[in-house]
Amino acid sequence: MEKTGLEKYTLLYVDDSEANLYLFEENFSEEYNVLTALSGAEAIEIAKEKHLDVIISDQAMPGMTGVDFFAEVLKINPGPNRILLTAYSDIKVLADAVNKTKIYQYVNKPWDYDKLKTIIDHAIEEYKLRERNALLTERLKKQTSELQELLKSKTALLNQLEQSNEALEKSENRLQRIIDLSPIPIIVEDIAGNINILNKQFEKVFGYTIKDIPTTAKWYQLAYPDAEYRQSQKQLWDRLIQDAFEQNTVIEPIETIVRCKQGNKKVVQIQTSPIDIDNNIVTMINDLTKIKSLEKDISYRMKMEEELRKAKDKADAASKSKSEFIASMSHEIRTPMNSILGFADVLEQELDNPVMVDYVKSIQSSGKTLLSLINDILDFSKIEAGKTEIKYELVNIRGLIQDITEIFKFSAREKKIDLITEFDGHMPDYLMLDELRIKQILLNLVSNAVKFTQTGYVKISTSANNTSGEKVELLIKVKDTGIGIDSKQQKKVFNVFEQMEGQDSKRYGGTGLGLAISNKLAGLMNGKILLESKKNKGSTFILKLHQVEIAGDTDEQKTELDSGKEKINFKPAKILIVDDNENNRKVLQLKLKKYNFEIFEATNGAQALSMLKNTIPDIMFIDLNMPEMNGYELYNKICKNDILRNIPAIAVTAYTLYYDEEKVLNAGFDGYVRKPVDFKKIFTILKKYIEYEELTETEDEKIAYRDIELKKDALENLPLLLRELEEQSAPYLEKMRYIQPKKVVAGFAQMLISLGEKYNNKPVIEYGHQIINASKAFNVEKEKELIKQFGLFVEKLKKLLP
């Protein structure tokens, strides 16, 4: 909000953080003249010297809080509106801010530029309106005083008709012109309630003319249709008028709600004053509806009977709005996630550099975990029920743990701590678990372990104890060498909003919710979280789940888990992709490109129908949410054609409400995938509807399994190499027997490279570089596998001895 011309409104922003002051100046200095202060004391001196249009202060400041500062400012200059910034919702602080310092509004940190700018503009507008109203009131009082004199003169001049008629007519015209030109609605009435003057602004704002309301009684009847509310307003007004006449004072402004001629309601401020000895009254009305946006306040001031009658309608409307909001947010979030994860999948396929591939896999793993949490948040049925539903599905626990290590490997590397995984050899390949909930628990446990560990390692280990032929007791341990937890504090950490006593919240952060939620989730899955810890000696959190079902190898879901890893060759096929989003089409096209399918793209339903006149695809992927003609409408048109109706049609959507799948299948679609599209599901769908042949998988590319070939000089030097290799590798292998510290692994790899170069043995050099690449990419599993297979590699070298 800017002044006319070159002058800007002046803001004073107070915050003890120089970074926050800089950020505020960067964002608002173009629109306003921004003054800043690092403390309340400094700001008070500025308030004494400068003209200010609005004052903004942070609450949490040393020495003098925002509320204390505003209390001092009120003594100096109470005019400019005050806005309080706070990073938390302390009811007492906010109550003090409202009651003691009369703040205009409080804003939660971090603030949003557009929202804060709107609040600042409204605060300035309201302040300037008050200033203008005060000036107009004084001017009107002065004008009404002149009117009194003119009316007195009129009485005196009646005795001199010939001399006074012209002067009286001029005076009346002048008064009428003053009133008509006023930007504020004005009513002039006598003590009997007859309205003598109604200016044009009044007619413009409220719609009534003097013919509609010749008397105040008629005004009350039209402006206050509710009899009870009308009676209360009339009694209040009559009492204030009487007091004003008796004391010869101006009535203090009051707020009320009136109905306009068109039927809409307005919140107004009314101020009245007696203007002459004949008991005439002038009333000025300010329209505050737009400024204060009091739609809710209006409803609160209505009769309780009307509130009760409308309660059900409001509840239904709120429920519908919530449902629509969640559906919309699901679409808005999942659509860009589809591009992020889709292009990450494509990038993984295109990259040859193993380090870069591992980086991309980290993006994929983190993105999928974020997406799973988004799905949970946006599940409307869970929000409505107020509870969490456990969904069991086929889970590869090794893959799940690997996903977790992918997420935290970079933060562990930055802190120079080792992130280790260890698996029980008796662990079944697949278990029936709620993968999202297990990940949610482990994300919290591993995040805490990394956060509270400065040196050493964080180790994730799993074991399974058989309780029957079909079920196991699953243990997942997260052990760290961090700060540990005192025995007296160990029970507290599982309580809601409680953290370890003495914990540096600024250093470690956190809300005190993570462990409480994790423990409840474990309970829902027939388990619990145990804690073993000693202060300054590390902690071990144990997720213990009872009676976990072992999944059979023939489970249909396993096929989907392994989809995409199979080596197959699809027969030639035509695929139609219908989606208005270019990135979504491009992701699908790139994913399907390697199978040499003939891809057709349509940006909308009309274009798709036009294509189908000349091309008959083998399968169609149809986005449900498209402008003009959505996916349902397009599919209905396709089904009316006898030739097209038998083409498999797969619905693709970013909406995730619980009834979506049922709606899609009832519409007749052959399948349903959600955005971001999981290519494993696409792969499974393609196998169902398009003919293919299986190919023989190639041998594993690990160097330990490859046949080794050596040049003549390398063969001659092989005995010397093997002797040094066994001597130098022994201490490294001993140190890496249980854990693989990064420095030891790097030393082991460099030793292999050095010996390989010394004896011109290329396979040994390559083996060392593979270990280094796995270590740099934080690929713990590959690193462990290479170290584990080192013995086999040495045996293969020995077989080459002459």
Instruction: Please report how the helices 227-247 and 216-223 are oriented relative to each other, as an axis angle in degrees rounded to 10.
Output: 140
Is the pLDDT at 37 greater than 70? The verdict is yes
Interval 305-312 mean pLDDT: 63
Q: CA 596, 598, 604: angle at the middle one, nearest 5?
A: 135
Lowest mean pLDDT among 6-15, 313-322, 657-666: 313-322
C-beta atoms surrounding 308 within 10 Å: 9
C-beta atoms surrounding 228 within 10 Å: 10
Q: Which segments within 38-133 are labelled E, that is strand?
A: 54-58, 81-86, 105-108
Is the pLDDT at 392 greater than 90? The verdict is no
Read off the pLDDT of residues 169-209 as tens digits, 9 standing for 90 and up: 676 677 667 777 777 888 888 877 888 888 888 888 888 98
Is the pLDDT at 234 greater than 90? The verdict is no
The predicted pLDDT at position 276 comes to 62
The predicted pLDDT at position 65 comes to 87
User: Nearest to residue 729, comparing CAs of 798, 794, 800?
Assistant: 794
Read off the pLDDT of residues 691-726 as tens digits, 9 standing for 90 and up: 888 765 443 344 444 557 777 788 888 888 888 988
CB 244 within 8 A of CB 250: yes
- Residue 497 pLDDT class (50, 70, 90 cuts): very low
Of residues 671 and 742, more confidence is placed in 671
Is the pLDDT at 345 greater than 70? The verdict is no
CB 433 within 8 A of CB 752: no
Based on C-alpha coordinates, what's the Rg of the chain? 39
Is the pLDDT at 752 greater than 70? The verdict is yes
Q: CA 148, 149, 151: angle at the middle one, nearest 5?
A: 65
Interval 139-148 mean pLDDT: 82
Read off the pLDDT of residues 650-694 as tens digits, 9 standing for 90 and up: 888 765 554 566 777 788 888 878 776 667 778 888 888 888 887
Read off the pLDDT of residues 616-647 as tens digits, 9 standing for 90 and up: 899 999 888 888 888 888 888 888 888 888 89
The predicted pLDDT at position 165 comes to 61
Interval 481-487 mean pLDDT: 85
Read off the pLDDT of residues 101-136 as tens digits, 9 standing for 90 and up: 878 888 888 888 888 889 988 888 888 888 888 888
User: Nearest to residue 525, comparing CAs of 393, 656, 427?
Assistant: 393
- Residue 403 pLDDT class (50, 70, 90 cuts): confident
* DSSP letter assigned to residue 571: P
Cα distance between residue 544 and residue 526, in whole Å: 9
- Farthest-apart Cα atoms in the chain, separation: 145
Residues found in the chain? 802
Token representation of residue 419: 């992130």
Interval 260-284 mean pLDDT: 79
Is the pLDDT at 511 greater than 50? The verdict is no
Instruction: State percent of the chain over pLDDT 90.
Output: 6
Phi then psi dihedrals of residue 39, to 5 deg = -155, 165
Is the pLDDT at 257 greater than 60? The verdict is yes
Q: What are the residues whose beta carbons fall under 8 Å from the beta carbon of 673, sequence distance 6 or more? A: 621, 650, 651, 652, 681, 682, 685
- Residue 337 pLDDT class (50, 70, 90 cuts): low
Is the pLDDT at 54 greater than 90? The verdict is yes
Query: Which residues pair with residue 539 across a beta bridge?
Result: 480, 533
The predicted pLDDT at position 38 comes to 92
The predicted pLDDT at position 89 comes to 64
- Residue 500 pLDDT class (50, 70, 90 cuts): low
Q: Which residue has the tokens 């743990």?
A: 401
Lowest mean pLDDT among 426-430, 601-605, 682-686: 426-430
Cα distance between residue 620 and residue 609, in whole Å: 12
The predicted pLDDT at position 412 comes to 83
Cα distance between residue 523 and residue 408, in whole Å: 25
Mean pLDDT over all residues of the chain? 78
Of residues 163 and 711, more confidence is placed in 711
Please tell me the pTM assigned to this model. 0.36
The predicted pLDDT at position 703 comes to 47
Beta strand pairing call for 649-653 and 671-674: parallel
Interval 500-521 mean pLDDT: 58
Interval 340-358 mean pLDDT: 65
Of residues 343 and 378, more confidence is placed in 343
Query: Which residues pair with residue 694 across a beta bridge?
Result: 568
Is the pLDDT at 233 greater than 60? The verdict is yes
Token representation of residue 224: 């206050």
The predicted pLDDT at position 479 comes to 92
Highest mean pLDDT among 274-288, 359-373, 419-433, 743-757: 743-757
Interval 63-76 mean pLDDT: 87
